[in-house]
């Protein structure tokens, strides 16, 4: 018995002293390799799961931006920040872009529009439209006449001018708007992206363009964007900012106010703006974000071509609601002979206009650019 135990101990000792003996058997080698492979796969799945869990906790904008180059604005670090579009606090761009061109991280990026560019998505029938010189209605006269879009004759029919504000933050939306089959008026924010390119494209498609001049709102939480005209500025600074915003691109017929419920009520500041507008031969459209606005009256006193907005189209950004607002526009046009409506570059607004434009023409309305609806 003692001898047998001694023999067993000797065998165990030899197994420890000669670990290389495992390689002497093909079966053992295969088993060992399989075990290593299984262990590696299990470890990889575990690590991958942990990383996925970490991504789920990160803002979606941050995840999207780490996947590669993007033409989307950089996400803000403070997720609680939101940016109201205009006086009622709607978002500037329903994709979540701020007046400064930054993205609100609470809005997921619009992936379907991320690779959109003006050149790449031009209609196939006119691939070089953006490189053609913009059309000029007249070689003489003030800018509001020289850059006016061609307008269909009214011939006694009620006329409707559709103005789209807040244009220029999203090039894909510029293309969608430019492809609408009517002479519309686009008001470009002076801090938008690729403004001259987008403005030229719009004009070559038969539309009219303006500068959407950022002005101080009454609500402190509303952000009008950089270089906004503020009541706290000196009159000289107001003039300098007005000129700077007007220098952001060219080919426009005039300006209208972006926000501005506080500034448009500031007569002295608005008088400075009107002086610059008159000097450059432009028109002024009062967006009427407040009943206290002095813009329209000052423009008339200064002898400027001017007009007032009648209806806002998309305070509720839903297709059916916008179509109902367009019915109100029709009613105003039937009553007064013409109407001016203001909308925004929302997908819902564009979809509603696609449906409404042919129907409005069928009813006998003529669609005109804003220069054809002015009080002179």
DSSP for 103-147 reads B-TTSPP-GGGTT--TTTTS-TT-TTGGGSPPP-S-SSS-HHHHT
Judged against a pLDDT cut of 90, whether residue 52 lies above it is answered with: no
Q: Which two tokens stand for residue 44?
A: 């990889």
pLDDT at residue number 214: 98
pLDDT tens per residue, range 150-171:
988 999 999 999 999 999 999 9
Mean pLDDT of 63-84: 31
Of 41-45, 177-181, 266-270, 328-332, the least confident: 41-45
Percent above pLDDT 70 for the chain = 63
List of residues 6+ apart from 334 with CB closer than 8 A = 158
Q: For the chain, how are helix, strand and coil distributed in percent, rounded to 5?
A: 45, 15, 45
Pairing mode, strands 338-343 and 283-286: unpaired
User: Measured between alpha carbons, how far is 344 from 90 in angstroms, rounded to an integer?
Assistant: 10
pLDDT at residue number 343: 98
Percent above pLDDT 90 for the chain = 61
352 HSE (CA, 13 A, CB side): 23
Q: How many CB atoms lie within 10 A of CB 33?
A: 10
Question: Between residues 199 and 5, which one has the greater pLDDT?
Answer: 199
pLDDT tens per residue, range 348-375:
999 999 999 999 999 999 999 999 999 7
Give SS3 for 207.
coil
User: Measured between alpha carbons, how far is 75 from 120 in angstroms, rounded to an integer?
Assistant: 25
pLDDT at residue number 375: 78
Q: Are 200 and 165 in contact (CB under 8 A)?
A: no
Mean pLDDT of 74-102: 35
Judged against a pLDDT cut of 90, whether residue 125 lies above it is answered with: no
């Amino acid at each position: 018995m003692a001898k047998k135990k001694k023999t067993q101990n000797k065998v165990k000792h030899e197994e420890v002293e000669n670990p290389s003996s495992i390689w002497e058997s093909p079966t053992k080698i295969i088993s060992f390799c399989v075990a290593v492979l299984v262990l590696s796969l299990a470890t990889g799945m575990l690590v991958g799961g942990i990383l996925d869990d970490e991504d789920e906790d990160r803002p979606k904008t941050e995840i999207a931006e780490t996947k590669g180059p993007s033409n989307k604005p950089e996400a803000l670090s403070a997720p609680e920040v939101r940016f109201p579009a205009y006086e009622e606090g709607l978002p500037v761009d329903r994709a979540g872009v701020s007046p400064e061109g930054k993205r609100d991280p609470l809005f997921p990026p619009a992936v379907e529009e991320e690779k959109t560019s003006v050149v790449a998505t031009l209609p196939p029938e006119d691939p070089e439209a953006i490189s053609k010189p913009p059309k000029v209605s007249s070689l003489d006269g003030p800018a509001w006449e020289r850059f006016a879009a061609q307008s269909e004759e009214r011939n006694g029919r009620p006329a409707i001018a559709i103005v789209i504000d807040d244009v220029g933050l999203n090039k894909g939306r510029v293309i969608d708007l430019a492809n609408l089959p009517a002479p519309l008026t686009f008001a470009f924010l002076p801090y938008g992206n690729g403004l001259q390119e987008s403005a030229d494209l719009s004009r070559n498609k038969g539309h009219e363009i303006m500068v959407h001049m950022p002005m101080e709102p009454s609500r402190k939480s509303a952000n009008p964007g950089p270089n906004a005209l503020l009541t706290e500025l000196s009159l000289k600074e107001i003039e300098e900012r007005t000129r700077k915003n007007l220098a952001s691109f060219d080919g426009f017929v005039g300006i209208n106010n972006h926000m501005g419920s506080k500034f448009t009520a500031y007569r002295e500041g608005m008088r400075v703006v009107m002086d610059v507008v008159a000097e450059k031969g432009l028109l002024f459209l009062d967006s009427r974000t407040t009943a206290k606005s002095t813009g329209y009256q000052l423009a008339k006193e200064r002898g400027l071509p001017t007009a007032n907005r009648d209806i806002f189209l998309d305070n509720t950004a839903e297709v059916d609601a916008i179509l109902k607002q367009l019915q109100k526009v029709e009613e105003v046009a039937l009553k007064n002979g013409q109407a001016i409506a203001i909308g925004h570059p929302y997908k819902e607004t564009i979809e509603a206009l696609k449906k409404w434009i042919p129907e409005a023409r069928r009813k006998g309305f003529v669609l005109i650019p804003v220069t054809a609806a002015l009080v002179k």
